[in-house]
């Protein structure tokens, strides 16, 4: 079992986070995007020292955290100025506040289903209208932006594009050429691109990630990127993310308005992650790659009619189960009811996800294997 995905199930079941409390104990949880890891040692030690010292008050070191995030994010092809980084509570807050502060009220916002379930609600929550422009070949080997469709939406009045990059759930890393063309469209139609890049630290071995802001000069003119250490280092409950403002002169996204919501422990953990835990992160990426090799084997053995595209980044796999018509439009429901395996339902990502399910594979080989054995049994009976 590869480190760091080597935590026994008996230990995991003591956790009180959503992944291990949402379902009864006979269910294998491979749904919400939490990872089955212990904290990286530097993060564990920093948080333990803070508790020992009673250092549990309000977060104050805005400039320090902004510098940490700027230096880390500069590895993705853009020399990030420290004053362009705005720490925020989480990626959802960063996206919503960026929309609210850069896009006229009531505007249409393009998003690219099948995509992360909260995108539509986030857009509506700030008084704007979601405009779906599905990925081309979203169910094939080459998922990509429908740039012609996005241009039509912008021509019809949409004033922003909410990008998932790397894309959740397909795992595709959009190409620099796609992103550069998207930036040109945004310039042409005076639109904004907000790029959710929370999965950026988790590109898999052999894959390179470049932020939207690196695609061209135009991308910085129209873009903001939002990211966090939370997915890569399993820190979601500590509440810390950041916005990289590509054009501070144009976009009024200010630290004074947003940074007060950052969790103190989240900031301490983010610094320990992004400065002192990068070797651990490499081990995590290698473990995820090993689990992808295992998924290929498990699909062949237990779900031979399923299709998938090996993701470029992240720890979720987008599985096409339409080869088993007996599983219906929402295979995850039957896998839960009859196999006691919890996955993310495909239709939750948009109508394009009917017949699909999303599998969180950031777990031990034993749990992953047992989950596919159970799903294969259900598919054989129902398919």
Q: What is the CATH number of the domain that holds 326?
A: 3.90.1150.10
The tens digit of pLDDT for each residue in 324-347 reads: 999 999 999 999 999 999 999 999
Co-location of 257 and 299 in the same domain: no
What CATH number is associated with residue 51?
3.40.640.10
Co-location of 188 and 198 in the same domain: yes
Q: How far is CA 145 from each of CA 28, 177, 207, rounded to the nearest angstrom?
A: 34, 11, 19
pLDDT band at 257 (very low <50, low <70, confident <90, very high): low
Co-location of 17 and 77 in the same domain: no
pLDDT over threshold 60, residue 76? yes
Q: How many CB atoms lie within 10 A of CB 70?
A: 19
Mean pLDDT for 144-157 is 98
Number of H helices, E strands in the chain: 15, 13
Least Cα distance to 97 among 67, 134, 56, 126 occurs for 126
pLDDT of residue 78: 85
Question: Are the C-beta atoms of residues 328 and 40 closer than 8 Å to each other?
Answer: no
Co-location of 116 and 168 in the same domain: yes
Residue where a domain terminates, one of 232, 261, 276: 276
For residues 358 and 32, what is the distance between their CA atoms, to the nearest angstrom?
9
Burial bucket for residue 61 (CB in 10 Å: 0-12, 13-18, 19+): middle
Q: How many CB atoms lie within 10 A of CB 226?
A: 26
Residue where a domain terminates, one of 276, 297, 330: 276
pLDDT of residue 254: 73
Co-location of 153 and 186 in the same domain: yes
Mean pLDDT for 88-110 is 95
Strands 85-88 and 192-196, bridge-based pairing:
unpaired
Q: Report the chain's C-alpha Rg in angstroms.
A: 20
* pTM for this prediction: 0.96
Co-location of 58 and 28 in the same domain: no
Domain span at 243:
44-276
Co-location of 227 and 289 in the same domain: no
pLDDT over threshold 70, residue 209? yes
Torsion angle of the four alpha carbons 377, 378, 382, 383, in this order, in degrees rounded to the nearest 10: -70
Burial bucket for residue 369 (CB in 10 Å: 0-12, 13-18, 19+): middle
pLDDT over threshold 80, residue 157? yes
Residue where a domain terminates, one of 233, 248, 276: 276
pLDDT of residue 1: 53
Domain membership flag for residue 3 = no
pLDDT over threshold 80, residue 255? no
Mean pLDDT for 183-195 is 98
Mean pLDDT for 242-256 is 88
pLDDT band at 252 (very low <50, low <70, confident <90, very high): confident
Tokens (6 digits) for 266: 């989240």
Mean per-residue pLDDT of the chain:
96
pLDDT of residue 2: 74
Co-location of 114 and 60 in the same domain: yes
Domain membership flag for residue 1 = no
Look at the chain and report how many structural domains it folds into.
Answer: 2
pLDDT over threshold 80, residue 258? no
For residues 143 and 133, what is the distance between their CA atoms, to the nearest angstrom?
13
For residues 74 and 93, what is the distance between their CA atoms, to the nearest angstrom?
22
Co-location of 282 and 271 in the same domain: no
Percent of the chain whose predicted confidence (pLDDT) is above 90: 95
Co-location of 65 and 122 in the same domain: yes
Domain membership flag for residue 110 = yes
- Which is more confident, 256 or 160? 160
pLDDT over threshold 80, residue 134? yes
Domain membership flag for residue 251 = yes
pLDDT band at 259 (very low <50, low <70, confident <90, very high): low
């Amino acid at each position: 079992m590869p480190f760091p995905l080597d935590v026994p199930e008996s230990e995991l079941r003591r956790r009180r986070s959503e992944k291990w409390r949402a379902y009864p104990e006979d269910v294998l949880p491979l749904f919400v995007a939490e990872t089955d890891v212990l904290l990286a040692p530097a993060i564990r030690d920093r948080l333990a020292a803070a508790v020992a010292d009673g250092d549990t008050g309000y977060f104050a070191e805005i400039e320090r955290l902004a510098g940490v995030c700027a230096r880390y994010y500069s590895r993705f092809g853009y020399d990030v100025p420290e004053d362009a980084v705005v720490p925020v509570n989480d990626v959802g807050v960063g996206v919503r506040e960026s929309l609210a502060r850069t896009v006229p009220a009531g505007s249409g916002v393009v998003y690219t289903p099948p995509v992360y379930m909260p995108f539509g609600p986030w857009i509506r929550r700030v008084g704007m209208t979601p405009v779906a422009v599905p990925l081309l070949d979203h169910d094939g080997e080459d998922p990509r932006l429908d740039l012609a469709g996005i241009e039509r939406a912008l021509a019809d009045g949409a004033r922003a594009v909410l990008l998932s990059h790397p894309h959740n759930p397909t795992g595709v890393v959009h190409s620099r050429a796609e992103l550069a063309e998207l930036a040109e469209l945004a310039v042409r139609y005076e639109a904004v691109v907000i790029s959710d890049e929370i999965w950026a630290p988790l590109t898999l071995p052999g894959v390179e990630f470049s932020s939207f802001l690196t695609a061209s000069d135009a991308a910085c003119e129209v873009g903001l990127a939002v990211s966090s250490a939370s997915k890569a280092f399993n820190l979601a409950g500590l509440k810390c993310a950041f916005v990289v403002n590509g054009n501070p002169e144009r976009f009024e996204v200010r630290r004074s308005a947003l940074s007060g919501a950052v969790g103190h422990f989240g900031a301490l953990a983010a610094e320990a992650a992004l400065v002192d835990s990068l070797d651990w992160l490499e081990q995590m990426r290698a473990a995820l790659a090993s689990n992808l090799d295992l998924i290929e084997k498990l699909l062949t053995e237990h779900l031979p009619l399923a299709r998938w595209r090996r993701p470029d980044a992240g720890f979720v796999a987008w599985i096409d189960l339409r080869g088993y018509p007996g599983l219906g439009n929402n295979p995850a429901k039957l896998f839960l009811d009859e196999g006691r395996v919890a996955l993310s339902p495909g239709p939750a990502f948009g109508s394009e996800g009917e017949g699909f399910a999303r599998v969180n594979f950031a777990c031990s080989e034993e749990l992953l294997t047992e989950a596919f054995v159970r799903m294969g049994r259900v598919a054989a009976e129902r398919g």
